[in-house]
Structure 1
């Protein structure tokens, strides 16, 4: 009887551990930069040339698409103030229908930044255990607040993009806020340091003038049928590891 109780307790402990473990084990090293890029949508700073491209190629929502319709990749760097992001997006149609940045923002063409400051994973739909920032073509940044209503977080991410023909370069500066952040609070972003790990993923919502987005293409592989789970569960994010 004692052995039965012991085994049941052990199974329970293991199960609890598995629940808390992140589902995605992908790790991306991120280089430190001293030079601060000018956010102008023109990646002319030399350090951008030294960084590795990472693909945005996982089809989370929608049917097959060809290379001319969409292809994307990104580079990322850090300093103590935050993350610096460069995206190269080839898209034959840039579409923004909603004039109200807090209505149906997910159906317009936009970049989505998924960020979990302490890489803890877990649910975050209506709290700031993690963020799902939707960065619109007009620069507005939307996510759900802790009151379950949509809000703008334009002071969290600054972005500029420039388009030539079908190619758009986005440059972004991202402040990293802790999971203790509350809307309308005075909580400051964290200071980033070497060896810190953050939960992170990117996606691009692609819409070629339809009533709803046609594809959501992400940067990390997500197993299972429901691949659009990042806006609810940060456990599917990949991991950034800050290095020098």
Structure 2
């Protein structure tokens, strides 16, 4: 019986570890598996969407916080072995796309920005493929930043093969569009050369994820940038998602 205090101490440590693990799991959003195929048409008519939970796009990143008539958004996620599926409902009173070139100042046009860190490892990714910051434009083209050019300049690229998207404007409620995306996940071995195989998704996988919306009602620069996760500012700046995957939230496939 002389070892009883040690046993109690060990049990207390186990309980503490379990409590910490449970708390950590509460901060990871669960994503259910799609029971049927999802057609990317902006209709979101599949029954599978009914089992997915809504999350809000309501965290301030850049600009003034918009009124609900100007912008509001929410989204759902599903998955199968080939894709992470996203369905977003976006209320936006003005849809604005000022640049015909999809790699020119795409962040100043209305667009969804989908942040993906395939292995949830965090870390810098602005000029690498440790993670992705997909800007999905109103014409469904997908832009990101690649490794720097040979002269050191920023290399804005299209990754249209990574994300399939489609949206439709709803008759009611007014100024709401439904946007659907099918996203292939690539690990950090991805390069711009050669052919790369997307990662197969499985239950239990944890992924770094964040969603945001660039809102511009006709100005030279975007007026609002609102996200799904609350980013702590660094030197007063909360616009860190395109630089550092450590600010992403996390999702777990169930």
The 2-side partners of 1:65 and 1:157 are apart by: 28
2:155 aligns with one of 145, 149, 153: 149
Question: Which structure 2 residues correspond to residues 63-74 of structure 1 after superposition, within 5 A?
Answer: 63-74=64-75
Structure 2 counterpart of 1:124: 125
SS in 1 for 2:164: strand
Question: Which structure 2 residues correspond to residues 85-100 of structure 1 after superposition, within 5 A?
Answer: 85-100=86-101
Unpaired runs of at least 5, structure 2: 1-25, 149-153
TM-aligned CA deviation for residue 184 of structure 1: 2.2
Do the aligned partners of 1:91 and 1:166 also contact (CA within 8 Å) in 2? Answer: yes
1:217 and 2:218 aligned = no
The 2-side partners of 1:161 and 1:26 are apart by: 30
1:226 and 2:242 aligned = no
TM-score normalised by L of structure 1: 0.88
Give the 4+ runs in structure 1 shifted more than 4 A.
none
Structure 2 counterpart of 1:135: 136
The 2-side partners of 1:100 and 1:144 are apart by: 15
The 2-side partners of 1:218 and 1:26 are apart by: 16
Do the aligned partners of 1:146 and 1:182 also contact (CA within 8 Å) in 2? Answer: no
TM-aligned CA deviation for residue 64 of structure 1: 2.6
TM-aligned CA deviation for residue 187 of structure 1: 1.8
1:201 aligns with one of 207, 210, 230: 210
SS in 2 for 1:106: helix
The 2-side partners of 1:64 and 1:191 are apart by: 38
- 1:131-172 CA-to-partner distances (Å, cap 9, x unmatched) read 000000001000011234011000000000001230000000
SS in 1 for 2:100: coil
Do the aligned partners of 1:112 and 1:205 also contact (CA within 8 Å) in 2? Answer: yes
Larger-gyration structure (1/2): 2
Q: How many residues align?
A: 219
- 1:79-135 CA-to-partner distances (Å, cap 9, x unmatched) read 100101100000100000000011111100000000000100000000000000000
TM-score normalised by L of structure 2: 0.84
Structure 2 counterpart of 1:82: 83
TM-aligned CA deviation for residue 36 of structure 1: 1.2
The 2-side partners of 1:91 and 1:32 are apart by: 29
Question: Which structure 2 residues correspond to residues 1-244 of structure 1 after superposition, within 5 A?
Answer: 26-147=27-148, 148-164=154-170, 165-224=174-233, 225-243=236-254
Do the aligned partners of 2:32 and 2:51 also contact (CA within 8 Å) in 1? Answer: no
- 1:47-84 CA-to-partner distances (Å, cap 9, x unmatched) read 11221100000010011321111110000011100101
TM-aligned CA deviation for residue 239 of structure 1: 0.4
TM-aligned CA deviation for residue 43 of structure 1: 1.1
Q: CA RMSD in A?
A: 1.1
